[in-house]
Chain A
Amino acid sequence: MFHIAKRERFIITFLIPTFIFFSVFTLYPIVRGMHISLFDWSGSSEFMTYVGVQNFVDMLHDPIVWTAIKNDYSLVLGKVIGIMILATFFAVAITRFRLRGTGFFRMIFFMPNIISAVVIGVLWRFIYNPNIGFLNAILSLFTKQPIRTPWLGQEDTALWSILWPSIWAGVGFYFLLLMAAILSVPTSLYEAAEIDGATQSRQFWSITVPLIWEQMKISILHIVMTTLNGSFVMVWIMTEGGPDNSTQVMGSYLYQMGFRQYHMGYASAIGVLILFMSLITTLIFQRLLRRDEVQLS
């Protein structure tokens, strides 16, 4: 057939440009970033001092780091649960009940996904605004006293108030994925189940879920990763981690420490922690979800 050399040359021509590009513009900056985590550096000075793992030791004793980790995982769990329930429900409802207006719903639901997180953050800050936002105005319709809850200013509501727009913005995409997955399930399976008199919920658990499990898994992993790495844009725009650090996530704390409090070395150490958290979490989720998959199929 072909020369070995030819095959190798092909592999190399296809791999090397991508690899170089990626190494230069992603890997190298990240490795540099990890390197910075070993220094005491303000982030604005021209000078840095080597401190070894001191930044990591400090991190263990920093209560805000722990709050941030807790918040990160609250957001991950909240988003996984919220988005998956809503997206699955909508996908099933639209495909299985053959409702009218499918195209309409599909079009509407995806809309928040094409809007930038910055715009969504700004918009929802206004929605939650205690005085000019419409959330309080709508709630006030049902109460005697006008409601003036400062949603983003109270520790017990702030994080949830950030979670909700994240779900709002995320559902559409996963809804599309799951809907397409369900549509690729052979209808004959459902017909057979109908004849056997299986209820909707039976059909859902024993046909739909096992057959779209792969897509559900991908969706969950994708939510986990994007949340751990990306939730900070919303947090930063809506609360900057406040009040009293109650909505701080790792990403926003990194930004706060690196760009507001001038500890870029420490901020980089937080970045390294985020990296490891993401890796471990993804691995754990993959494990958990894989076992289920084996069971069901």
Chain B
Amino acid sequence: MYPSQPRFSRHILKALSLILLVVWSVAVLYPLIWTGLGALKDNSQFMLGKPWAFPRSPWLWSNFSNVWNQYHFGQYFINSIVVTAISSLLAILLSATTAYVLARFPFRGSQILYYFYLSAMMIPMILGLIPLFFLLNDLNLINKLSGLIIVYTAWALPFSIFVMVSFFKTLPKELEEAAYIDGAGYYRTFFDVMLPLARSGLISIGIMNALNTWNEYIMGMVFVNDPVKYTIPVGIAVMQAEMQYRTEWGPLFAGLLMSMLPVIIVYMLFQRHIVAGVTAGAVK
């Protein structure tokens, strides 16, 4: 190989990469933009066969107000936020404690417990759907956000424990030992030393669990059937089903957009933190 070739091919590679990155960005953004365009159209414009066309004026902002008035989107958001926030926090608390013990306090059976949680990651949750319904019903948790919170927390545990065990294992033992020598007990060591050290890992599983919970649909639909307690995915699914019977494409697009936009805005504002959070847990 000639020495000049790497540099030359490097430029080509670089240009090619840039093109592909741009193409992918368009592939990601365009469907979202298309949703935005569709949200301002009426049915006849959908039928024109020019999906990329700009909505004809007057733009149908009424599509948005229709959806807003017919469906309790504000309420769905509040529900989703409450459910997501509380269950993510609970999952952090419950998984970090177990993970810490599994990572640092081997006992007879600790390996078994670890693999027990690990294999639970592969459980298809739909298998437990109906029994879970009866359980929640017996506990008076059907049709309640608290029921959803509990279920989502439980389902987030295996993955969180898995990530946190490997995270705790990477933390240096010296700090703990220093804490013990200073006379701190197990509990203080955990809460005052280890948890702060594991912060990035905790944030990371927190974000991942939050994303999963935020987007969960099946359990949300089966365990809650009171429209004021719907989470966003359930609200969207119901809206989609209803609009299908009425051929209201514009309002449907408006609804899709309304469900996405706030999340996208929050994401853009906190993008750096979220990106850092997602990666911190897994890359150590």
Contact = CB atoms under 8 A, between A and B. Distances in A.
A168 to B, nearest CB: 7
A25 B155 CA distance: 8
Contacts of B263: 114-115
A108 B25 contact: yes
Contacts of B260: 115, 119
Interface stretch (B47-55, B58-66, B67-75): B47-55
Nearest to B187: A10
A200 B16 CA distance: 14
Contacts of A109: 24-25, 28
B236 A271 contact: no
A234 to B, nearest CB: 11
B240 A122 contact: yes
Contacts of B155: 25-26
Interface in B3-27: 3, 5-6, 9-10, 13-14, 17-18, 20-21, 24-25, 27
B283 A43 contact: no
Interface string B84-112: 00000000001101101100010100000
Contact of B217 (A25, A116, A264): A116
B52 A97 contact: no
A18 B156 CA distance: 11
B283 to A, nearest CB: 4
Interface string A253-275: 01100100000100010011011
Contacts of B5: 199
Given A7-B105, A26-B120, A127-B31, A118 B215 contact: yes
Interface residues of A, number: 99
B128 A29 contact: yes
A119 B259 contact: yes
Contact of B98 (A18, A134, A181): A18
B278 A177 contact: yes
Contacts of A126: 38, 249, 253
B81 interface: no
Interface in A90-128: 90, 93-94, 97, 99, 103-119, 122-124, 126-127
Contact of A264 (B130, B154, B190): B130
Interface in B153-204: 153-155, 157-158, 161, 180, 185-187, 190
Interface stretch (A57-65, A155-163, A224-232, A288-296): A224-232
B142 interface: no
Contacts of A14: 97-98, 100-101, 190
Contacts, number: 265
Given A26-B120, A180-B279, A275-B124, 14 more contacts: A11-B105, A18-B97, A33-B127, A86-B24, A108-B25, A114-B214, A115-B260, A172-B28, A179-B279, A228-B124, A229-B123, A233-B217, A254-B124, A278-B124
Interface of B: 1, 3, 5-6, 9-10, 13-14, 17-18, 20-21, 24-25, 27-29, 31-32, 34-35, 38, 46-47, 49-52, 94-95, 97-98, 100-101, 105, 107, 113, 117, 119-132, 135, 150-151, 153-155, 157-158, 161, 180, 185-187, 190, 211, 214-215, 217-218, 232-233, 236-237, 240, 249, 252-253, 256, 259-260, 263-264, 267-268, 271, 274-275, 278-280, 282-283
28 contacts: A8-B107, A14-B97, A15-B101, A22-B94, A25-B151, A26-B157, A29-B129, A32-B128, A90-B20, A93-B21, A97-B10, A99-B18, A106-B275, A110-B271, A114-B211, A116-B236, A116-B259, A117-B215, A123-B35, A131-B47, A137-B49, A172-B28, A179-B279, A180-B280, A197-B3, A199-B9, A250-B124, A275-B122
Interface of A: 1-2, 6-8, 10-11, 14-15, 17-19, 21-22, 24-30, 32-34, 36, 43, 86, 89-90, 93-94, 97, 99, 103-119, 122-124, 126-127, 131-134, 137-138, 140, 146, 168, 171-173, 176-177, 179-181, 184, 197-200, 215, 218, 225, 228-229, 232-233, 237, 250-251, 254-255, 258, 264, 268, 271-272, 274-275, 278-279, 282
